[in-house]
Amino acid sequence: MKKYDFDVDIVIPWVDGSDKEWLKEKNKYLDKENQIDVDVGANRYRDWDNVQYIFRGIEKFAPWVRRVFFITCGQKPSWLNLSNEKLVWVNHKDYIPEEYLPTFSANPIELNMHRIEGLSEHFIYLNDDFFFTSKVKKSDFFDKNGLPKIVAMEKPKSIEDFVFDNITRNNVRALNKLFNKKEVKKKHKKKWYSLTNPVCYIINKFYDVTVKAGWAGFYMDHLPAPFLKSKIEECWDKLYDVLDSTSKNKFRSIYDVNQYLFTEYLLCSGEFCPDKFKKRGMQFALKDSENSNIAFVCNRIKKKKHKTICINDARVSDFENTKEKINLALESILSEKSSFEL
């Protein structure tokens, strides 16, 4: 394989949480659920009306992308140009097995994305709150041999979100059944103990001493993630029961695993290239407290301080005002319509 001579696609899921028919369907299934165990907060579904900036960022800053697979339950933004040759509009029913549908959780949508027809071996997964805000290259996500670039660092999850924290622990439990930490780190020591990542080196050594029973957890950034389709298929083969069980849940549940499991599987199997800590971008959790960070986030966007960013909805109460400010900042660097728009 020549240097970077491989196709890379992008996968983006999206939902319009204000769609009345979708809400009717969602509420019909929600009435049957034990809502203590699931996460159905409004911030999980509400539309920031800025997905067009994801496409503009891809076209402007990542023109090397082969195709963009845009996943919905059949919903379509009014501005979306379906005739664009690089766009593949994917319905849930086109790739998610029938027994898992309908779903109102991101987890089944993400865990089954390897089934999308025509998806390349190398692809990058974007949530609908991820944006390219400066030039990116294939080499930001994969090495010259096609291995995904991942930060290799142990990190137990602190208690912040009841549902999400349980999910991350479920990921770790599943991987501890498959992989012996000591053997993995011995076999791939140049990757886990690379001195080019001193922070990772020190932390990994610390958890080798303090947590000997297995993996303590993994550092995972909430940013565009590189994947290998074949390794997801391999993960399904080895962890079918937990992936199947999660895919059957209609809403995000404390019993789930999530797509981070696929990245963590790459770490445990050694199929990765060590990445530098916080090299690729930055996640921003928006909040409207007295010490609001919204002005700071907007400033970082306008000055293109990061290659990629995540604008995470941390249950903002003044939603409309915050949405306007963020979208104006995105507009300031991505004002030209892309070919993905009508």
Residue 43 pLDDT exceeds 60: no
Question: Per CATH, is 8-279 categorized as 3.90.550?
Answer: yes
Q: Tokens in use for 51?
A: 């997905």
pLDDT tens digits for 271-286? 999 998 767 799 988 8
Q: Tokens in use for 281?
A: 């971008």
Position 3 scores a pLDDT of 83
Task: Give the residue carrying structure tokens 């791939």.
Answer: 188
- Positive or negative, the Cα torsion across 123, 135, 264, 1? positive
- The CA-to-CA distance between both ends of the chain, in Å, stands at 37
Question: What percentage of the chain exceeds 70 in pLDDT?
Answer: 92
Structure confidence at residue 269 as a pLDDT band (50, 70, 90): very high
Position 294 scores a pLDDT of 86
The mean pLDDT of 126-148, rounded to a whole number, is 96
pTM confidence score:
0.94
Q: Where are the domains of the chain?
A: 8-279
Q: Which residue has the higher pLDDT, 129 or 2?
A: 129
Residue 41 pLDDT exceeds 60: no
pLDDT tens digits for 219-261? 998 899 999 999 999 999 999 999 999 999 999 999 999 999 9
Q: Are 287 and 200 in contact (CB under 8 A)?
A: no
pLDDT tens digits for 94-106? 999 999 999 999 9
Position 159 scores a pLDDT of 60
Cα(174)–Cα(190) distance, rounded to whole angstroms? 25
Position 42 scores a pLDDT of 53
Structure confidence at residue 177 as a pLDDT band (50, 70, 90): very high
Position 161 scores a pLDDT of 74
Position 288 scores a pLDDT of 64
Task: Look at 65-74, 126-135, 158-167, 214-223 and tell me which has the smallest mean pLDDT.
Answer: 158-167
Q: Are 288 and 43 in contact (CB under 8 A)?
A: no
Position 285 scores a pLDDT of 83
Q: Tokens in use for 54?
A: 């994801």
Q: Tokens in use for 199?
A: 């922070």
Q: Which of 244, 246, 240 is nearest to 258 (CA)?
A: 246
Position 11 scores a pLDDT of 98
Structure confidence at residue 39 as a pLDDT band (50, 70, 90): low
Q: Which residue has the higher pLDDT, 94 or 317?
A: 94
Position 45 scores a pLDDT of 63
**In whole angstroms, how large is the CA radius of gyration of the chain?**
20
Question: What percentage of the chain exceeds 90 in pLDDT?
Answer: 73
Phi, psi of 151 (to 5 degrees): -75, 120
